[in-house]
Structure 1
């Protein structure tokens, strides 16, 4: 079973997983008025951003270094470890991106995932497959996207961003997400390799699944077929029944169409247990990190398992009958969960599910 031995994150709550966890427990959304670029002509005015104008490639290099250091990788071990990257496509791969692996002392950039908001989860799933196939003893995965004028304008022009700056996943009255800065890196290796090195696993990746519903370029399948197939594949790979899952970190973007679709997908994958498993979408707090969403929310799941505490589904106003789920509301919920499911979905119907196990 693959295990994560190093993990580093950057969100609007700050640098590091502990800053992310403290922000989630505090329950106050990280969004602020946008100052990074002009939003005078925009309907939405808020985003969850770090101060200033950070460079994504520089931030990814720092995060990769932190993850590798936490994993205790030597210079020689890094040199034999490939990099899988998820980041927004900006045309041909620039030199900085292409040179990121070399700058961090890694074997090379093996693949760039650009499949929208499922990209980070897809990169982690592909890294796990490489380990299972025995192609590498370990893989570094990095993902990042910072709120920029172009993506903000695109989402705002489509009318999907919450104009009041409050995301309300699974709630009546939801008006869309709030975009957020997000980036992270992790070291994924076989459990045997981790034991051989004497590395301490943070969490195990018990199962993973990828699927597509091929329904519409921007709209999810009404019955959540992609989510259902990805979650079912993750459970099957882990050899677990739905009742083993103690927490679901949902992709829920607080849009009218997607949240009911994801709820339907969970019902299809988990059966009657879908009404009893605790669920929250932490995008209401750290923002929707787009391509990096799966990396940030994987970290959230790992922290929830470590602390036996489930983060809240913030911004909730009233129950939506189309989303009949056991939402974590009002305050974090104590729960000795052993398995957590992180779901991601992107335009084009691409979906990923990562099933984490406490160690």
Structure 2
């Protein structure tokens, strides 16, 4: 972690947002769906689920690109999602119009993903089991390594600075945001296009199905009768800049990226630490970096997967760190609407946090009907809440105990 001192402390700000989610294409449509509590679950269409006991997920619907792209993007769903969201975020930031006048070598890219690591293997498997076109040239053409996500964005948007792909499981998006924050604070770059993208490969669906972690109908985080997570897909992109750079070019600032915390409790390969020790540490470190006290946080976008152990452990961790104030902090799981977007989850949820700051509306946890005595916080059940807050916290806790928390604030 980069050591922040009074001498080098500066602000990192958000100037553009982009979204592709199971409840909407683009920020405006997605946000309207979030505040109206829309459910993005549907019967799987990407592949045949007749051999499974669960047949639903949260797939992106009615997605069409309105521009002609090269074959490498046409054939890769993740590339298409991140391209769309990145283009939307860049347009909002104003950099799509005038970035030619800046040093593009100081424009970086950081992306989190999980499925990008799986899809090349899945394509190879399908090609080998197919009765046609098993030639080596077809196999090579089918493989897109994870770093192709940042390569594609650099090619299309002409960013020539450092790039990074985070493959740190379900906290990948927040890890990418943390890396971008450090680059900006250290004044190594002026702008970072940061976020994450994922799709739903069959291998991933099978993995969670075999773990008996998939909900059959709906995702119900923190509800006593919750039955598991629901896999989702999409992309979320933020344009992060040094405050001085954004101010000099006259950018409209959406929020400040105030700090982050990272930890790995290493408790188990799939189960969370029952007392949430790693979660407590990363939330606490994020508060320290942001120079905030627990009472400053006005909203928590919870990891909230809808699995019994994860929801309980996160609740315990929040209560441990925030003490009595935990009961005064509204927190919700937007995974109840869009499912778990895996490596892209915390990137999309970071966009949601910025939108909550912008509009003064907190998205709900839908499908919340029966309170769980072990999950007894304010989960904003079923209806969005109008509430102006200054600081929001975004949790992301992954397999292997890889935890990442980010904090976003209203700019002062």
Using the size of structure 1 for normalisation, the TM-score is 0.95
Aligned to 2:205: 152
Partner of 1:106: 159
Partner of 2:102: helix, strand, or coil?
helix
CA offsets, 1:123-155, max 9 Å, x none? 001110111112112211131001222211111
- 98, 108, 122: which is aligned to 1:82? 108
Query: 1:135-214 to 2 correspondence within 5 Å?
Result: 135-163=188-216, 165-214=217-266
- The 1:287/1:70 distance shift into structure 2, 3 A limit, reads same
Change (3 A) 1:236 1:31: same
User: Do residues 352 (structure 1) and 407 (structure 2) align?
Assistant: no
Aligned to 1:63: 85
Q: Is the 8 A contact 1:314 1:330 kept in 2?
A: yes
**What is the DSSP-based 3-state SS (H/G/I as helix, E as strand, rest coil) of the residue aligned with 1:82?**
strand
Residue 213 of structure 1 contacts residue 349 of structure 1 at CA under 8 Å; is this kept in 2? yes
Per mean C-alpha deviation after superposition, the further-off stretch among 94-103 and 281-290 is 94-103
TM-fit CA distance, 1:277: 0.6
Please say if 1:24 is aligned against 2:34: yes
State whether structure 2 residue 392 is matched by structure 1 residue 331.
no
Q: Is the 8 A contact 1:61 1:104 kept in 2?
A: no
Report which stretch shifted further, 255-264 or 302-311.
302-311
Cα distance in 2 between the residues matched to 1:95 and 1:303: 28
Name the CA shift for 1:108/1:153 in 2 (closer, same or farther; >3 Å): farther
Q: Is the 8 A contact 2:192 2:240 kept in 1?
A: yes
Unaligned runs of 5+ in 1: none
Structure showing greater radius of gyration is: 2
Q: How does 1:115-130 map to 2 (within 5 A)?
A: 115-130=168-183
Q: CA–CA distance in 2 between the matches of 1:194 and 1:95?
A: 28
Alpha-carbon distance in structure 1 between the residues aligned to 2:12 and 2:145: 29
Consecutive unaligned residues in structure 2, runs of 5 or more? 1-10, 64-75, 121-143
Q: What do the CA deviations read for 1:272-299 (whole angstroms, capped 9, x no partner)?
A: 2112211111100111111100011111
Superposition deviation, residue 336 in structure 1 = 1.4
| Cα distance in structure 2, aligned partners of 1:355 and 1:270 | 15
Could you tell which deviates more after superposition, 345-354 or 100-109? Answer: 100-109
Please tell me whether residue 322 in structure 1 is matched to residue 374 in structure 2.
yes
**Offset at residue 309 of structure 1 (A):** 1.4
Distance 2:61 2:392 in 1: 31
Whether contact under 8 Å (1:83, 1:108) holds in the other structure is: yes
Check the 8 A contact 1:144/1:182 in 2, yes or no.
yes
CA 1:76–1:237: 2 relative to 1, 3 Å: same
Indicate the residue corresponding to 1:261 in structure 2. 313
SS in 2 for 1:251: coil
Q: How many residues align?
A: 358
SS in 2 for 1:99: helix
> Post-superposition shift, 1:169?
0.6
- Give secondary structure in 2 for the equivalent of 1:342: strand
- Quote the RMSD (CA, aligned, Å): 1.7
SS of alignment partner, residue 317 of structure 1: coil
Moved over 4 A (4+): none
**Contact 2:364–2:385 under 8 Å retained in 1:** yes
For residues 263 and 300 of structure 1, the distance between their equivalents in structure 2, rounded to whole angstroms, comes to 20
Q: Which is worse superposed, 112-121 or 96-105?
A: 96-105
CA distance in 2, matches of 1:35, 1:235: 42
